[in-house]
Amino acid sequence: MFENLKVWMNGKLVPWSNANVHLLSHGFSRASSIFDVFGIHPTPQGPCAFRMDKHLDRFYRSAELLGMEIAYERESLKKAIAESIEANNIKRGLIKILGYYSEEAIISLVLDSKLDVAIFAMPESDELGLDKTEPISICFSDWRKIHPATVPVEAKACSNYLNGMLARKSAKQRGYDVGIFLTTDGYVAEGSIESLFMVKNGILKTPKLGNVLRSITRMSILELAPKLGIEVEETNIMPQELLAADEIFLSHTGIKVGPVDRIEERVLSPVPGKITKKLQQALNDIVTLKDERFKDWIQYVGK
């Protein structure tokens, strides 16, 4: 599906099928790689990135948390992103930046080299599902969220996503779309690739930072909601509280706000609820530049 695309790999645009490393590269065989993902949206002025500056901050922060160094400066990556968007003619889609050790390493665990970088600019497709509007069903995962004392959960490290894969797999086996992790202390955390929000009695609540990814969409919703007159709380949420929520939605840079219509046996209605709908609309206005107040959240990329 993506075979006609070009991938930016360490300074060059290469065909999709040439974007490879050796199976024994440290990045592949030891999962010592990091990534970040952000959405591209069509606007009258051309393709725009949603909070690319924050995503690039997080990409460098992920490397720092893991004691790694990225081989390229931020300005080079910004140019490379624009080049990738143009080369692949992306209007609506996703950018995925991957930092990885391509060096083959049989027994070495610690490398002195810098991280190589690949940038994937991908157009909207069924697989990405960015424009999917169907509500999401969720259940509690039997797998707990990795504890922050074991690896930095705030780093977007590829290895952390084995945890996510297990939760997603068991949810699918039970007939749900997404499995929600609890922390090892028993509080609600997040989905495999989604932050979680709930509404109770008009108050928007989300798990506090510490055990969850420092999501850029989550941060944006927390900044936006009070401006729409919605009270917000970053707090510990017990599973029973989530089960009794008036509204629930998941968020990430791709879907922005994805309403939940079922949690375990309980069906939520109406979906989307009032606050979910308000936030969905507001974010949509921001990414299409209809709401000028947040124009610094949007960066022009490509031509």
Ligand X SMILES: Cc1ncc(COP(=O)(O)O)c(C=O)c1O
Residues of this chain that interact with ligand X (CB under 6 A) are 37, 190, 193-195, 213, 215-218, 252-253
Q: Which residues of 261-294 are buried (b: 16+ CB within 10 A; e: fewer)?
A: bbbeeeebeebbbebbbbbbebbeebbebebeeb
Q: Phi-psi bin for 80: left (phi > 0), alpha (psi -120 to 50), beta? A: alpha
**CA gap 228, 244 in Å, rounded:** 24
* CB 6 within 8 Å of CB 40: no
The least CB distance from residue 216 to ligand X, in Å, is 4
Q: Which helix (H) or strand (E) holds 247?
A: strand 247-251
Nearer to ligand X, 6 or 51 (CB): 51
Nearer to ligand X, 105 or 283 (CB): 283
The least CB distance from residue 104 to ligand X, in Å, is 28
The least CB distance from residue 24 to ligand X, in Å, is 27
* CB 90 within 8 Å of CB 83: no
The least CB distance from residue 145 to ligand X, in Å, is 9
Nearer to ligand X, 193 or 230 (CB): 193
The least CB distance from residue 102 to ligand X, in Å, is 23
Give me the DSSP letters along 104-162.
Answer: B-SS-----SPBEEEEEEEE--TTT-TT--S-EEEEE-SSPPPPTTTS-TTS-BGGGHH
**CA gap 259, 282 in Å, rounded:** 15
CA 287 to the chain's CA centroid: 16
Nearer to ligand X, 6 or 54 (CB): 54
Contacts of 152 (CB under 8 A, 6+ apart): 65, 66
Nearer to ligand X, 37 or 248 (CB): 37
* Token pair belonging to 284: 């949509």
The least CB distance from residue 249 to ligand X, in Å, is 12
The least CB distance from residue 256 to ligand X, in Å, is 9
Nearer to ligand X, 63 or 105 (CB): 63
Nearer to ligand X, 26 or 55 (CB): 55
